[in-house]
Structure 1
């Protein structure tokens, strides 16, 4: 999830619906038509707090619980596009928030496992996905830096929080040939990087985009002050 300072909005918050998000994604270089169709089909307004629905179709982060914000939709699109999903993949998502990115992944892949560190946010994401009839995604509560070994291996992993390194369990749970996208940096100023798991280990393929993300907390990330407690 990004901080509110990320990027430009590619337009005003008065656009009437998802088509503005499609235009913003195209302006950011996204050309995957399956992904653009998913952006058009998934109502972002269903994945933000009711008090923020007026801003749902502006290409900006939206504040949610626990001092977090949703990721800017065009940035979500760039990160998901980098995974190169074809429809058959089993995907791991770290940091599900209210479930908007999860919903996009669920339309583009065969199955999605999302890990959210805040139990109430995980429950909200489950409800939002269920309300949209999305049945091929599950949201679990836990330490995202540990992944979810009993659902592995994964064909793709997307991490929506920043740390200077990729957590080793996420590498171990990624299938050979699988792709991983993560913001690499201290939190607040990083590069979203695309990696591929090879027989030699994890190999960086390219930088996707500069961004501003909140920190990744957990056993293989920044230490929280208490279990599942954010330090701001």
Structure 2
């Protein structure tokens, strides 16, 4: 009789079969995925799905999570977004959409400091407990609407929007330092693209669309008018 694979084997399989083939080749990030225990950030009743190639609802069903934006993104998505912005040890990061706190933990392992904004009180509490239990000390979770960023504490080296938006708000780009990077998923169902915005000067940016994907909408971000006169 064959035995069930161990947690460590499941984690290894996730990294080698899902994440590395998705062009996540930064060895530091691959090592980090072995260290930060994803299963500890998954709601207990979904823990068996911790290493599956799927979004995981944080409350209710997957349909509920997609409608409210309350999901953990697929492991390969989290890893590749992290690789895109590549935080450095001296950098300050703003995340919008804390969710379970897993992405914040990954960011915290790479950066000096992370402030993560979560609009739902229950999720903010969950994330704080998860991060505390994991021993993450340089991430602060705040219960707040992150659609306008956090100008009072900017500028930031990195901004991560952990979900999709119809368009990147100019107000958030203004909260980047020159040389700073913002990553998110931009577009409307069924066409969304992971997008990296780099602030190159006081009034200039570059925008690179990286790959096609799908993600739930972050709450309260503005939608552009579909009608032009």
- Give matches, 1:48-197, under 5 Å: 48-65=42-59, 67=65, 68-187=70-189, 189-197=191-199
TM-score (norm. length: structure 2): 0.85
Deviations 1:193-216 (A, max 9, x none): 111002133320x22221111112
Q: Which has the larger radius of gyration?
A: 2
CA drift of 1:168 comes to: 2.2
SS in 2 for 1:159: strand
Between 1 and 2, higher relative CO (CA 8 Å, sep ≥ 6) is seen in 1
**Cα distance in 2, alignment partners of residues 18 and 169 from structure 1:** 38
CA drift of 1:222 comes to: 4.7
CA contact 2:166–2:223 (8 Å) conserved in 1: no
TM-score (norm. length: structure 1): 0.84
CA contact 2:85–2:158 (8 Å) conserved in 1: yes
CA contact 2:184–2:196 (8 Å) conserved in 1: yes
2:222: which partner in 1? Answer: 221
CA contact 1:103–1:129 (8 Å) conserved in 2: yes
CA drift of 1:188 comes to: 5.2
**Cα distance in 1, alignment partners of residues 118 and 223 from structure 2:** 16
Paired positions, count: 209
CA drift of 1:40 comes to: 0.7
CA contact 1:34–1:108 (8 Å) conserved in 2: no
Deviations 1:2-47 (A, max 9, x none): xxxxxxxxxxxx9843212321211100111111111111111110
1:202: which partner in 2? Answer: 205
Deviant stretches of 4+, over 3 Å: 14-17
1:22: which partner in 2? Answer: 15
